[in-house]
Structure 1
Amino acid sequence: MTDERPIRPPSGTVRIAEVDGKRAVLAFAGVLDAHALCELEERLLDQRLRQACVLVLEMSALERIDLSCAYALLRTATGAPEPAALTVRGARRHVLRTLRQAGFDAVATIEE
């Protein structure tokens, strides 16, 4: 008898790659889906990110993001009393498509 369970891609990771008080860089990798949502939301609550004036989302290693994670990013971007200048860098075409579906392009500069 063979194991018929679907193979799930590895969950994504989000790490704070750089913080200098005014600028913060979040680096994304893997697949951000519902399984990674809790970790993403916890990471986005980090006080160092809330203090940054500039927030860069480095997405070159991100394979895929689902709408729930894109909306979590959008809530963070729009929920701060004084939102940081937000830049998305290095995102793949299908990741950008999901971010745009969530309305992310209205609040962020997207570097393609």
Structure 2
Amino acid sequence: MTVDPRHPNTVAPVRIVEADGRHAVLAFSGDLDAPALRVLEELLLDHRLVEPTAWTLDMSGLDHIDLACAYALLRAATRTEEPVTITVRGARPAVHRTLKHAGLDTVVAYEH
């Protein structure tokens, strides 16, 4: 479980639920906005995400994501020469719209 450093008694809006040498699953919940950006950026640098070349972003519990956080996901997806294959699962229409505005449609596949 990842604790939100802004509120030590709550779970962070994003956490790694699974990671092995090939695949990682990140789960999102609640609001991913400017106050959560640092938590997201730190998590995206986690050593467990270095090796996997495929990520699943489970956004079924995510109510809102702002553009700064969407751009952080885009940077993470494109930071290496070997691109990471990203699948977004369960994104609500408003979340999908923000991801699209940030340009993630060019590097992710969507599952409904």
Compute the TM-score of the two structures, normalised by the length of structure 2: 0.87
**C-alpha distance in 2 between matches for 1:12 and 1:111:** 23
Number of matched pairs = 103
1:43-82 equivalences under 5 Å are: 43-82=43-82
Aligned position for 1:88: 88
Give the superposition deviation at 1:11.
Answer: 9.0
Q: CA RMSD in A?
A: 1.5
**C-alpha distance in 1 between matches for 2:80 and 2:74:** 11
Change (3 A) 1:11 1:72: farther
Q: Is the 8 A contact 1:11 1:35 kept in 2?
A: no
Aligned position for 1:17: 17
Q: Any stretches of 5+ residues in structure 1 without a counterpart? A: 1-9
Give the superposition deviation at 1:105.
Answer: 0.6
Amino acid at match of 1:32: L
**C-alpha distance in 2 between matches for 1:30 and 1:11:** 10
**C-alpha distance in 2 between matches for 1:98 and 1:12:** 20
Query: Which protein has the larger Cα radius of gyration, Structure 1 or Structure 2?
Result: 1
Give the superposition deviation at 1:110.
Answer: 1.1
Amino acid at match of 2:53: C
Q: Is the 8 A contact 1:11 1:31 kept in 2?
A: no
Change (3 A) 1:11 1:36: farther
**C-alpha distance in 1 between matches for 2:50 and 2:110:** 20
